[in-house]
């Protein structure tokens, strides 16, 4: 008999409740898996349930809307229990309905009263009998796309306005596909070929089509258990994120500032490129996150990184005209990461984007003083909204005529035929995260 307190489905309901209260899904999931005694197959089911329900939450609530009359009066754990059940029925084809029903009803009995058990039983039986409602019932096109792809209406509306309905729909479809596991090789330690050879003992390895040092891994153990990761030969990083350092025109012996650096993925990439005689200064506002940068550097055997607590909005006149290169990987709404962090699609607002735009400008204005003449200031975000990307750069340039926008070039000539000088990567372009990169040269 399954212990429902410690079953994957019950733990999933607990995690979803905590995410509703503000917890980050990845952190909460990792923590609860560590505290459980689940076998690997159940850990995989738990992960699938948590991310799947978060990814499809608006869709699932629409599917349930004909069967749960007053969801606002229903305990949140019951709603999350029903979401997990409907998710399994609609999106997982390997679990029979009777198994889904039995476990869901047992959890309802364990956590609630007889009335809740009857309600859960009735909803699931009615759903099985009548089927899901069709999206065509939704007349408003923005609301229909929002529900169909489970993305907040304001995001659908904004992307449709900026990019057109066709591109918006393509992005929405792509963010509901599984994220790739991508890693970057550390050339400081070993050759690219030797690292691939080591990884091929445990994984199916393919080279990234867009990132020079990127690899995609599949069919292997958890990456944290990989000897290549433990030895610092690789680090986990999205392919789009790897492009940032590629575009910075880094050279040996340069002095570089990574102004918003934690957890240090781009910091370590910069450090590899500028060599032992170069120096990277990495900032973050929180001591705990600065420690992450240091730990990353130590794992990868990089000795040319200094990490310190520093707010990139605060003046440092002692560093004026000091750096050959500065990276501002700016605080942003993170909408390019929806595939990996599905709760972002519900937590962010249009006001958040406007507020972050002001923060981005303040950081750029402050660190721009620290770039040497002839040096380059690189601005990047993991969002896909114009307000935080092109608009931020345009406004900065309007008040800083000493900088000129350069063409952003990657090693593999990503989007080489585009008209824009800056580089936008959308989630549907290559199956990687959404990113924006702009390079600004100080010319006077």
Query: Mean pLDDT over residues 51-78, rounded?
Result: 94
* pLDDT of 25 higher than 60: yes
Q: Which two tokens stand for residue 427?
A: 């989630």
Between CA 302 and CA 296 the distance in angstroms is 9
The fraction of the chain above a pLDDT of 70, given in percent, is: 99
| 49 neighbors 88 (Cβ within 8 angstroms) | yes
* pLDDT of 1 higher than 50: no
List the beta bridge partners of residue 218: 204
Q: Cβ–Cβ contacts within 10 Å for residue 306, how many? A: 12
Crossing angle of the two packed helices 57-64 and 40-55, in degrees rounded to 10:
80
Task: Identify which of 70, 29, 66 has the alpha carbon closest to the alpha carbon of residue 51.
Answer: 29
Crossing angle of the two packed helices 165-174 and 153-163, in degrees rounded to 10:
130
Q: In this structure, what DSSP letter does residue 310 have?
A: -
* pLDDT of 435 higher than 90: yes
Alpha-carbon torsion (171, 175, 180, 185), positive or negative: positive
Which band of pLDDT confidence, cut at 50, 70 and 90, is reported for residue 225?
confident
Question: Which listed residue (123, 172, 361, 382) is catalytic?
Answer: 382
pLDDT at 5: 67
pLDDT at 6: 77
pLDDT at 3: 59
Q: Which two tokens stand for residue 255?
A: 């002095």
**pLDDT tens, position by position, 281-313:** 999 999 999 999 999 999 999 999 999 999 999
Query: Mean pLDDT over residues 171-194, rounded?
Result: 93
pLDDT at 4: 63
Superfamily for 239-442? Answer: Vaccinia Virus protein VP39 (3.40.50.150)
List the beta bridge partners of residue 205: 217
**pLDDT tens, position by position, 100-123:** 999 999 999 999 899 999 999 999
R_g of the chain, CA atoms, integer Å: 24
Task: Identify which of 27, 397, 30, 430 has the alpha carbon closest to the alpha carbon of residue 242.
Answer: 430
Between CA 255 and CA 85 the distance in angstroms is 54
Alpha-carbon torsion (159, 161, 163, 165), positive or negative: positive
Reported pTM: 0.93
Domain map (residue ranges) of the chain: 4-133, 136-174, 239-442
First to last CA, the chain: 74
List the beta bridge partners of residue 153: none
pLDDT at 189: 80
pLDDT at 288: 95
Highest mean pLDDT pick, 17-26, 163-172, 212-221: 163-172
Q: What is the DSSP string of 405-431?
A: EEPP--TT-TTTT-S-SSEEE-HHHHS
Query: Mean pLDDT over residues 368-389, rounded?
Result: 98
**Which residues make up each annotated binding site?**
260-266, 284, 311, 329
| 231 neighbors 189 (Cβ within 8 angstroms) | yes
Strands 435-442 and 403-406: antiparallel
Q: Is 382 a catalytic residue?
A: yes
| 120 neighbors 126 (Cβ within 8 angstroms) | no
Fold held by 4-133: N-utilizing Substance Protein B Homolog; Chain A (1.10.940)
Q: In this structure, what DSSP letter does residue 106 have?
A: H
Establish whether domains 4-133 and 239-442 are of one fold. no
**pLDDT tens, position by position, 228-238:** 999 999 999 99
Query: Mean pLDDT over residues 175-185, rounded?
Result: 94
Reduce the DSSP state of residue 427 to 3 states and report it.
Answer: helix
Alpha-carbon torsion (157, 158, 164, 170), positive or negative: negative
Task: Identify which of 388, 431, 346, 385 has the alpha carbon closest to the alpha carbon of residue 55.
Answer: 346
- Average pLDDT value over all residues in the chain: 94
Which band of pLDDT confidence, cut at 50, 70 and 90, is reported for residue 40?
confident
**pLDDT tens, position by position, 72-96:** 889 999 999 999 999 999 999 888 9
**pLDDT tens, position by position, 381-419:** 999 999 999 999 999 999 999 999 999 999 999 999 999
pLDDT at 34: 87
**Which residues make up each annotated binding site for S-adenosyl-L-methionine?**
260-266, 284, 311, 329
* pLDDT of 2 higher than 60: no
Between CA 343 and CA 359 the distance in angstroms is 23
pLDDT at 62: 97
Alpha-carbon torsion (224, 220, 427, 137), positive or negative: negative
Query: Mean pLDDT over residues 134-140, rounded?
Result: 95
Omega before 263 cis (within 30°)? Answer: yes
Task: Identify which of 216, 210, 292, 212 has the alpha carbon closest to the alpha carbon of residue 258.
Answer: 292
Task: Identify which of 78, 64, 69 has the alpha carbon closest to the alpha carbon of residue 16.
Answer: 78
């Amino acid at each position: 008999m399954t212990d429902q307190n410690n079953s994957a489905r019950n733990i999933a309901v607990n995690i979803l409740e905590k995410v509703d209260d503000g917890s980050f899904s990845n952190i909460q999931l990792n923590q609860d898996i560590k505290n459980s005694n689940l076998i690997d197959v159940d850990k995989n089911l738990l992960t699938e349930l948590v991310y799947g329900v978060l990814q499809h939450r608006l869709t699932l609530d629409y599917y349930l809307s004909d069967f749960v009359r007053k969801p606002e009066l229903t305990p949140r754990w019951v709603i999350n229990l029903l979401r997990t059940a409907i998710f399994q029925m609609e999106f997982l084809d390997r679990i029979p309905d009777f198994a889904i029903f039995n476990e869901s009803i047992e959890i309802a009995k364990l956590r609630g009263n007889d009335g809740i058990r009857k309600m859960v039983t009735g909803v699931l039986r009615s759903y099985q009998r009548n089927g899901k409602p069709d999206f065509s019932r939704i007349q408003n096109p923005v609301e229909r796309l929002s529900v169909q792809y489970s993305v907040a209406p304001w995001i659908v509306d904004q992307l449709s306005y900026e990019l057109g309905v066709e591109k918006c729909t393509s992005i929405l479809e792509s963010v509901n596909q599984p994220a790739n596991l991508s890693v970057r090789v550390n050339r400081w330690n070993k050759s690219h070929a030797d690292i691939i050879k080591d990884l091929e003992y445990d994984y199916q390895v393919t080279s990234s089509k867009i990132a020079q040092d990127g690899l995609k891994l599949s069919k292997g153990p958890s990456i944290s258990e990989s000897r290549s990761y433990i030895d610092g030969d690789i680090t986990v990083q999205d392919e789009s994120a790897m492009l940032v350092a590629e575009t910075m025109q880094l050279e040996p012996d340069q002095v570089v500032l990574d102004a918003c650096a934690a957890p240090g993925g781009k910091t370590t990439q910069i450090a590899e490129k500028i060599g032992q005689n170069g120096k990277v200064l990495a900032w973050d506002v929180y001591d705990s996150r600065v420690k992450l940068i240091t730990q990353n550097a130590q794992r990868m055997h990089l000795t040319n990184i200094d990490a310190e607590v520093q707010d990139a909005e605060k003046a440092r006149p002692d560093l004026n005209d000091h750096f050959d290169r500065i990276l501002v990987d700016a605080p942003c709404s993170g909408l390019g990461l929806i595939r990996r962090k599905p709760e972002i699609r519900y937590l962010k607002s249009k006001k958040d984007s406007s507020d972050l735009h002001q923060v981005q400008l303040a950081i750029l204005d402050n660190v721009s003083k620290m770039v040497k003449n002839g040096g380059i200031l690189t601005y990047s975000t993991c969002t896909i909204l114009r307000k935080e990307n092109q608009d931020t750069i345009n406004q900065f340039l309007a008040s800083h005529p000493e900088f000129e926008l350069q063409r952003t070039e990657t090693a593999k000539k990503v989007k080489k035929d585009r008209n824009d000088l800056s580089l936008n990567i959308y989630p549907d372009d290559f199956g990687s995260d959404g990113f924006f990169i702009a390079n600004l040269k100080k010319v006077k």
